[in-house]
Structures are given as structure tokens and as C-alpha cells.
Amino acid sequence: MRLIDRYLLRQLLGPTLLATLALTAVALLSQSLSALDVIINQRQSAGVFLKITMLAMPQLINMVLPLALFVAALVALNRLQSEQELVVCFAGGMSRWRVIAPPMRLAVIIALLALVMNLFIQPAAYRELRNTLFDVRTDLAATLVREGEFTEPAPGLTVYAQSVDSRGRMGNLFIHVAESDGSATTYTADEGRMATRGGTPVLVMSRGSTQEFSATGVLNYLTFDEYIFDLGPLVASEELVHYKPSDRYLHELFFPDLEQDWERRNRLEMLAEGHARLATPLYNIAFMALALAAILGGGYDRMGYGRRIAWAGAAAALTRILGFVVQAASESGVWLNALQYAVPLIAMGLALRSVFRQRVSRFIDMRKRPSRIAPAGAPA
């Protein structure tokens, strides 16, 4: 029996891995297209783009795992039933539970992996993703200069660069600073680059000139080979990284700091997110049960199981959509969080009931039963 269990498990494991990789690749492509803004508008490197894409993968994998498991189980179980390998298992004396134990065991393992990702890997990855996006948004080099455009990164400051190469070097740089007392200073340079001096970001300008117009109306002009423009006042900001519910660990969702105004106002949303982290792995088991119901939830059919598979697919889609609806509704009422667990558990129970209510004899092809008609010429 252990040999047969391992064989059934292997037949399911391969399609599951293949379906997971395929669906994750599709989801990753969609995520990559939305992250192109980082390179196009924020002028970040390909490494930053790749980092952002990879950090979004834990949630993407968690979203596609139940669907991948469902599709893979349908493919593998339909082939096993069509080739009558499951019929042989039943004819050999295996109970229904022994036949469905390997698929259910695989679903439980995947559910545990999904739970680990929900509780530890996803919040860690999303925190790093939030920090990376914050650094991109506050990147001085990206916000200070845009090639061929006049920008105003701060009140009274206007910056223009005719060109910016891949190394961040700026060509034909123009900077105009207007002070509150009415004075103004204009800097022009053939070239400029970002640097750090004494821990403070600076703009190093080469081969240029300054024209300073004082508040009293006096114009001062000088040329330079190199000039250091202090960017420290531009980076002085009290803005901090704010972690959303998807970025927080389970204990932070269930036990928020109620002294913080945002956490007090969004307590129900955080609680709903916490219960969703615990409930969503159950969809892996529920979808496996639905796949088993599609193949084993009725008698052997020589014409195939297309209709039952279609019904199972519709039930799986309805179950997951209902789960999203319940999660959103839970943000308005604490008691609704119980429904986040009820939806996958009810789907699982109904699917397994469909499997176990069938008689084992109905799974066996009539062609495999011995004929009771005596052969011609046999003695009566």
C-alpha cells in the first residue's frame, strides 16, 4: 500500500509544481508590468526593479497555489481515472480514504507551507518592499533632475539638465535659487553629478558660473572649475515609512498599539487581515477536495468527466470569490471573521461528502467485472 501511496503522490506532485510555476510566471509578468514605473518615471536601475518584483512573489505564490493545486489535481486524477488506475486501486481492496489520502496529504503540506509564508515570509518581504519603494520615492537623484525638464524639487528651487546618462552624470546643468528676501542665485555648469560629503548629499558641478543678484540689486558674477552645491536642506524630511496591514506580522494585527491613531481607526481592517492570513491556507485543502469530488464524486463514466469538472471549477471560483467578499465584509464587523474559516471548511465538507457517499462498486468499470454467462460448449 505504501508503494501505491507514493505512486499516487508522485503523479500529483509533478503537475502541481508545473501549474504553480506557470501561474506564478503569469502573475509575475503582471506584477512586472505595473512595476515598470520604477524604471521609467523614477529612473531606477534594473536591480531595483528586480528586487521589487521578487519581494512581491510570496503573496503572488499564495494567491495562485490553490488554483494551481486544483488544476493539477484535476489533470492528474482525470488521467488516473481514465486509464483505470484508480479502478485497479478500488478493485484491489483499497478504501476511498486510502485512495484520496495521498492527494489530501499533499494539500495539507501545501497549506502548511502557505501558512508559513502568510505568517513570516510575506510580512518580511512586504516590509522590505515598502522600505524600497519609500527609498525610490525619496530618491534625491530621481526627484531633483528629469532629463530635458524644468523641475521644482523645493520651493524657490528650479533645476534643469539637458541630458542625464546611465551613470547619473548631468549635462548642461541649470539651477536657479530664489530666496525669501528677494535675492536670487543662478548656477550653470557643463556637467554635474551627485556625491556625498561628510554624510550629506551634494551636487558637484564642473566648469560653470554663478550669477548672484542680491536683495539690494547688486549682481555678482564668478566662474568656477568645480562648485559644491549643498543638497542637505532638500533631504530634511520628517516623513516615515508607514506599514500597511499586509506588511505587519500576525501579533501586530491581532494586538495593535491602540495609542496610535491610525491603528485605532483601522483596528477592524487589521483584524480581518489577521484572520485572512490564517484562513486562506484552507483553500488549498478545499480546492483539492473539490477536484476529488469532480473525479470521484460520481460513478465511472466512459464519456469523460467534463461536466463534473466544469461544475467543480464553478464551485471553486464561487468559493474563492465568496472568500474575498467575506474578508472585505469582515472589516465592518468582528463576528464576520468566523465566516472566513467557514467558507473553505463548508466547501471542503460538501466536496468530501460527495466523494464518500458513492459506493466503491460504482468506481469500478463494468468491463472489469467477470462475466456470468457460461462460454459456448461448456457443460450445463
Q: 59-68, 91-100, 236-245: which has the minimum mean pLDDT?
A: 236-245
Q: pLDDT value at position 151?
A: 85
Q: pLDDT value at position 299?
A: 66
Distance, in Å, from the CA atom of 161 to the CA atom of 172, rounded to the nearest integer, reads 6
Q: pLDDT value at position 279?
A: 97
Q: Examine the pLDDT at 158 and tell me if it is beyond 80.
A: yes
Q: pLDDT value at position 141?
A: 60
* Percent of the chain's residues with pLDDT above 90: 50
Q: What is the overall mean pLDDT for the chain? A: 85
Average pLDDT over residues 302-315: 86
Fill in the amino acid letter for 255.
F
Q: pLDDT value at position 214?
A: 82
Average pLDDT over residues 374-378: 45
Residue 375: pLDDT band (50, 70, 90) is very low
Q: pLDDT value at position 142?
A: 62
CA distances to 18, 33, 129 from 29, in Å? 17, 6, 17
Contact 40, 48 (CB under 8 A): no
Q: pLDDT value at position 357?
A: 83
Q: How many CB atoms lie within 10 A of CB 131?
A: 14
Supply the pTM of this predicted model: 0.79
Average pLDDT over residues 50-71: 91
Q: Examine the pLDDT at 368 and tell me if it is beyond 70.
A: no
Question: H helices then E strands: how many in the chain?
Answer: 14, 6
Q: pLDDT value at position 39?
A: 64
| 3-class state of residue 161 by DSSP | strand
Q: Examine the pLDDT at 361 and tell me if it is beyond 60.
A: no
Cell of 298: 460520481
